Amino acid sequence: MSQAVSGTTQAPAFPQARTCPYEAPAGYRELAATGPLSRVTLFDGREVWFVTGYAEARALLADPRLSSDRTRPGYPIVAPRFRASVARKLVLIGMDPPAHNAHRRLLNPYFSLRSVRELRPMVERVVERYLDHLESLPQPADLVSAFAIPVPSMVMSEVLGLDERDLDFFQDASRRLLHATTEQDSQQAGGELSGYLDRLVTLRRKESGPGLVGLLAPEVERGELTQVEAVQIALVLLIAGHDTTASTIALSVITLLQHPEKLAAFRADPDLLPGAVEELVRLLAVTDLAGARVAVADIEIEGRTIRAGEGVLISATVANRDETVHENPDEIRLDRNSRNHIGFGYGIHQCLGQNLARIELQVALSRLFQRLPGLRLAEPAESLSYRAPGTGTVQGVNHLPVRW
């Protein structure tokens, strides 16, 4: 427990680590039991609002009185690495209308369901490539480094039009950025990624090229985007597009292996696949948060007042388990067929790449268990090393030794 800034109350620390891949930390459950809004304390001692009710979460995610601008005073910084300038001024996820709307309109067609479906053959090729690689390794093999990370990394490299020869660099720099525990380490890794993307955008302004960077560069030439904005868009998509998907793949594998009857149904009925992925996204909620915001005006909700300037954290982990929305919410039901979770967020900042993420998860999980029917954990789930809360709120395992 951490002492609140006001000195009048105590609020538990946020974020907290999971001890089970598919269960919320016990401290979050205790907060939810007290009501849909409570308080938590961040690493720097600041106390902020913590929203665990589903209805309240959706209402606040759609409320224009909450800002996503990370540079605003009072914005809740959940880990030291987010103090780095490379993480503070971000397009899309860290921007409010009208600028956010303009960038979103520019990118929406590329990530529409129709456009993403055209990418499925590419996703399938990538998955098969890394399954071949996984099968070539001595057992036990680490599913995280051999499959869960490189699949979405390679997919995003293809989407952005990056040189495949730079994949190792991107995986290393992204890992250092996402696992950084200090502002300096975050800035160093983020700066390396930004520098590379800046050079690539400059090149594509002179010579046409593939992927989304090849589409953004002409927008810079026409004055519709600045060079900085184009680089930040590519950086946000590169990071957000592979880290959360990689973590979901790994935690989904653990969850299914820990529930063999569910895995048997998953394997037996291909029609379950889309709904099963939705259920895993709902249950796992690897980002932990559906949104981090700061109030720009007072907001009255559920008998509480969120004051202007106060930080607000909206929990996907707990809100997705609201029993008023999902019957027996802690139970894994692969046939639940419910897409009203907030695992991809809600409102204007709902995940831009959610359609692509769904296809990646569907292909990766279905093919993994088809190709390796004997897949099993090489060590007890209880002994796995989970990502430390000091790096932020994305949940995951550092390694996942498996046999088949």
Summarize pLDDT for 42-56 with one digit per residue, the tens: 999 999 999 999 999
The answer to whether 66 touches 312, Cβ cutoff 8 Å, is yes
How far does the chain reach from its first CA to its final CA, in angstroms? 42
| Average pLDDT taken over every residue of the chain | 93
pLDDT digits (tens, 9 = 90+) for 288-308: 999 999 999 999 999 999 999
> What is d(CA 342, CA 345) in angstroms, rounded to the nearest whole number?
5
pLDDT band for position 6 (cuts 50, 70, 90): very low
Q: What is the pLDDT of residue 155?
A: 96
Res. 188: pLDDT tops 90: yes
pLDDT, tens only, 147-159: 999 999 999 999 9
- The pLDDT, as a whole number, for residue 87 is 85
Residue 366 has pLDDT above 90, yes or no: yes
175: pLDDT strictly greater than 50 = yes
Residue 8 has a pLDDT of: 41
- Spans of all domains in the chain: 2-403
Asked if residue 33 has pLDDT above 80, the reply is: yes
pLDDT band at residue 327 using 50, 70 and 90 as cut-offs: very high
Distance (Å) of CA 233 to CA 68, 212, 327: 16, 10, 38
pLDDT-derived band at 9, boundaries 50, 70, 90: low
pLDDT at 36 over 60: yes
Cβ pair 180, 81 in contact under 8 A: yes
**Contacts of 20 by beta carbon, 8 Å cutoff, 6+ apart:** 381
- Give the pLDDT of residue 1: 30
> Quick one: average pLDDT of 355-363?
97
Superfamily covering domain 2-403: Cytochrome P450 (1.10.630.10)
Question: How far from 33 is each of 53, 95, 322, 357, CA to CA, in Å?
Answer: 10, 32, 11, 32
Cβ burial of 370 (10 Å; 0-12, 13-18, 19+) is exposed
Q: What is the band of 179 on the pLDDT scale with cuts at 50, 70, 90?
A: confident
